[in-house]
Structure 1
Amino acid sequence: MIDHLDHLVLTCTDPDATVDFYTRILGMRLETFGEGRQALRFGNQKINLHVRGHEFEPKAHLPVPGALDLCFIADRPLDEVIARLEQAGADIIEGPVARTGATGRIRSVYLRDPDLNLIEISELLA
């Protein structure tokens, strides 16, 4: 019945810091839609932003910043991702480590966004 994820919603406290992290550090593209709403686009998906206390309806029952644990598959080897993260001043908190992803084995690093959501960036392993 379900084919793929279209978008998810990230509740943040500081939209400027969030946009900077996801665009400058992770390479996503900022998109504005609707009545000034913001989204972060990557591949065929996007992350819509809600600002805490100014969420759009309908919304999650308890939207809170810092509650997400997201895993992204990189479009390049993980060693290149690590170099880019280090160059951008990102703090890798763990990894690289071997994990199991949705379609098989992955190799991952972990960092946190400005709201302390856990961000995992991975490469698929053969």
Structure 2
Amino acid sequence: MISIDRVDHLVLTVADVDRAMEFYEQVLGMTPVIFPDDRRAVSFGQQTIKLHAASELVAPTATHPVPGSANLCFITGGALSDVQEHLRAHDVRIEEGPVSRTGSTGPITSLYFRDPDGNLIEIGRYDEPVEE
């Protein structure tokens, strides 16, 4: 049996790496990363999202790598009202939310919007446990 510990990184195929880096840095507060071979990514916590241009794919790659095909969920510890305000300040249209969803470890409340490539981004906050 294989034992998986955590997700280390994801790869997003994007139309424009500069535009994607700016969005993830400015809107989502992630840290830009530049690798020695000039490939680029953004990081948060112990995770990295590598950004590969659709016009310059790095082998090996997914079978059908295209911009806008991802659906990502990030968890915040902050208030979703602050997230909403921040998104509006950056002219990011909220498509749905706040709505109740199920996260990996329990109920969350989420907002949905899209990055510049059309990837669906969900920002959720775990609901406070109800005291009985």
C-alpha displacement at 1:15, in angstroms?
1.3
The alignment's TM-score, normalised by the length of structure 2, stands at: 0.92
C-alpha displacement at 1:34, in angstroms?
2.9
Q: After the TM superposition, which residues 93-104 of structure 1 pair with which residues of structure 2 at under 5 Å, given as runs?
A: 93-104=95-106
Residues of 1 paired with 2:74 and 2:92: CA distance? 16
Q: Any gaps of 5 or more consecutive residues in structure 1? A: none
Match of 1:17 in 2: 19
Q: Deviations over 1:22-70 (max 9, x none)?
A: 1111111101013001011011101001000201111111111111000
- Decide which of 122, 125, 130 is 1:123's aligned counterpart: 125
Aligned length: 126
| Superposition RMSD in Å | 0.9
| Structure with larger Rg | 2
Matched AA of 2:80: L
The alignment's TM-score, normalised by the length of structure 1, stands at: 0.96
Q: Percent identity?
A: 47
Residues of 1 paired with 2:85 and 2:118: CA distance? 21
Match of 2:50 in 1: 48
Residues of 2 paired with 1:7 and 1:34: CA distance? 17
- Decide which of 65, 77, 81 is 1:63's aligned counterpart: 65
Q: Any gaps of 5 or more consecutive residues in structure 2? A: none
* Further displaced range: 101-110 or 75-84: 75-84
3-state SS of paired residue (1:11): strand
C-alpha displacement at 1:19, in angstroms?
1.1
